[in-house]
Amino acid sequence: MDTQGHAAQLGTREVAALVREDSFHKSLYTDPELFDLEMRNIYGRAWIYVGHESQVPEVGNYHATRLGDQDVIMVRGTDRKINVLYNRCAHKGLKLVHDGSGSTGKFFRCPYHAWTFKLDGSHLSAPLRNAYQGTCFDPKHPDFSLRSVARVDSYRGFVFARQSDTGPELREFLGGAISFIDNMCDRAPEGEVEVAGGVFRVLMRSNWKMMYENVIDSMHPLATHESTFNAARQKAEELNARPLELNIMASLGAPYEFWEQLELKAYDNGHGSMQDIFGGGNLAEDPVASALYEALSQVHGPDRAQQIMDTNIHNSVLYGSGMLQTTYQQFRVLRPLSVDRTLLEVYVFRLKGAPKEVFRRAISFANVSFSPASNVMPDDVDFYRRCQEGNMADGGDWINLHRYAGQDREERGARIAATGTSELLMRNQYQAWKSFMSPQAS
């Protein structure tokens, strides 16, 4: 392996050497061969989020998306179970349905030659069947059916799929990160959430791993978002009030001491979380939060309601899938497209049984924070792109992650950072990357 960001031969040891305890080689952002290997070794082996069960409520409802570099269809079967199939007709290979949501009825019918398939992918019919007599055409042979992704499982409605037959089960893979999904769902008085209110789809011209770093990077807002928090703070001073929309932007300008005291928790497989930064649990100041607390109290009693409302996570990373924001019910899903292109999908969740204003608040949060027209995101997205460009220059080979390295502590199955400005969560992501990419060496 040379140091110019091009891996000629990617042996396990060479790949393992690209990640150190406190830094990683820039080729992880720039090398197309490494990207291809990631698609096999990470997206081909890990549990990756496909979609939410609420997107396919009825038999025959489907949602087509990407699982790594593979087009797949999540579909509700006739037995009401969720199937995940590769989006390829078994005849000529036509991409069977377009990306996004729809309904196919009782079976899939390829529009090219009218081959049909059951909702579990098995072959149903092909026209003028007699023509296949005396050939090895066999409707029971898997070659003539839609292929299923190896494993599908879900947790509280969040559907994940794994392309390999072997590996840990979903709950084991998520480990402590399952608490992020729990916190979002527990906020619903009925204990369930549903996708609602549309989706933002944003193209980012950068490697998929950059955003996973940025969303738990507490050292960037003060520099990156200066124009945004300046404008919002001036406005809040003029109004002598900090409504939600302004608070989201103004909070980014909190001093370093604020970020230092945040709790960062890292779990196996690259998952991790950063504590809330918007005061989302402050019942006294947020009428929407207190309305939700009241609704939860009626179901669970005040102690449990308080416990749920006190668990406020800003961003949490489900590595390989996306970033949950549980306090405001957002899930930003990352779909890698190529070494320097990433699709971001922003989903908003409705808490079943919650007061109407809770969902309205989630919509406002999405508009202000995660819209491609937000005043916050453009600077982040621009900087990912500039990192992509900058790392093509021969100005150095390593990305450093040294902040508070070696000072983490273990606590009840999580690694806790020394302070909120530690780069623990990034180091944790790259150690997971190394384990996936070079399983024998790690």
Partner 1 sequence: MLSNDTLDLSVDCLKEARLEAGDYDALCQFIYGEARLLDARKFEDWLGLWAEDGMYWVPSDPDQVEPYEHISYFWEDRHLRDVRVRRLLDPTAWSQQPSTYTARLVGGVSVDGVDHDGHLVASAAFQITEFHRDETRHLAGRYTFKLRQKDGAWKIALKRVDLANAGGLQENFEVFL
Minimum Å distance from CB 269 to partner 1?
29
370-399: contacts with partner 1 (CB under 8 A): 371-373, 375, 377-379, 381-383
Binds partner 1 (CB under 8 A): choice among 6, 129, 171, 360: 360
Between 70 and 367, whose beta carbon lies closer to partner 1? Answer: 367
Instruction: Compute the C-alpha angle 390/392/395, nearest 5°.
Output: 70
Report if residue 364 touches partner 1, rule: CB under 8 A. Answer: yes
Among 167-175, 227-235, 299-307, 392-400, the segment contacting partner 1 (CB under 8 A) = 227-235
Binds partner 1 (CB under 8 A): choice among 249, 277, 292, 305: 249
Binds partner 1 (CB under 8 A): choice among 232, 309, 424, 425: 232
Minimum Å distance from CB 272 to partner 1?
26
β partners of residue 76? 82
Minimum Å distance from CB 319 to partner 1?
24
Minimum Å distance from CB 165 to partner 1?
33
Task: Evaluate whether 319 touches 271 at the Cβ level (below 8 Å).
Answer: yes
Between 231 and 441, whose beta carbon lies closer to partner 1? Answer: 231
Binds partner 1 (CB under 8 A): choice among 67, 346, 417, 426: 346
Report if residue 291 touches partner 1, rule: CB under 8 A. Answer: no
Amino acid letter, residue 191: G
Report if residue 246 touches partner 1, rule: CB under 8 A. Answer: yes
Among 104-112, 124-132, 229-237, 258-266, the segment contacting partner 1 (CB under 8 A) = 229-237
How far apart are alpha carbons 141 and 125 in whole angstroms? 13
Task: Evaluate whether 345 touches 310 at the Cβ level (below 8 Å).
Answer: no
Report if residue 120 touches partner 1, rule: CB under 8 A. Answer: no
Report if residue 231 touches partner 1, rule: CB under 8 A. Answer: yes
Binds partner 1 (CB under 8 A): choice among 18, 74, 85, 366: 366
Binds partner 1 (CB under 8 A): choice among 290, 367, 418, 441: 367
Q: What are phi and psi of 222, to 5 degrees?
A: -60, -35
Q: How far is CA 384 from CA 49, 186, 211, 306, 391, in A?
A: 23, 33, 7, 38, 11
Size of residue set near partner 1 by CB under 8 A = 44
Among 128-136, 165-173, 223-231, 257-265, the segment contacting partner 1 (CB under 8 A) = 223-231
Binds partner 1 (CB under 8 A): choice among 245, 263, 294, 397: 245
Binds partner 1 (CB under 8 A): choice among 138, 172, 226, 285: 226
β partners of residue 82? 76
Minimum Å distance from CB 357 to partner 1?
9
Give burial (CB, 10 Å; 0-12/13-18/19+) of 245. middle
Between 262 and 344, whose beta carbon lies closer to partner 1? Answer: 344
Instruction: Compute the C-alpha angle 321/342/99, nearest 5°.
Output: 75
CB atoms within 10 A of CB 129: 10
Between 229 and 404, whose beta carbon lies closer to partner 1? Answer: 229
The contact pattern for partner 1, residues 176-215, with x = CB under 8 A and - = no contact, is --------------------xxxxxxxx------------
Burial 135-167, CB ≥16 within 10 A → b, else e: eeeeeeeeebbbebbebbebebbbbbbbbeeee
Minimum Å distance from CB 287 to partner 1?
10
Binds partner 1 (CB under 8 A): choice among 244, 254, 405, 418: 244
Report if residue 343 touches partner 1, rule: CB under 8 A. Answer: yes
Residues that bind partner 1 (CB under 8 A): 196-203, 224, 226-228, 230-232, 234-235, 239, 243-246, 249, 343, 346, 348, 359-361, 363-364, 366-368, 371-373, 375, 377-379, 381-383
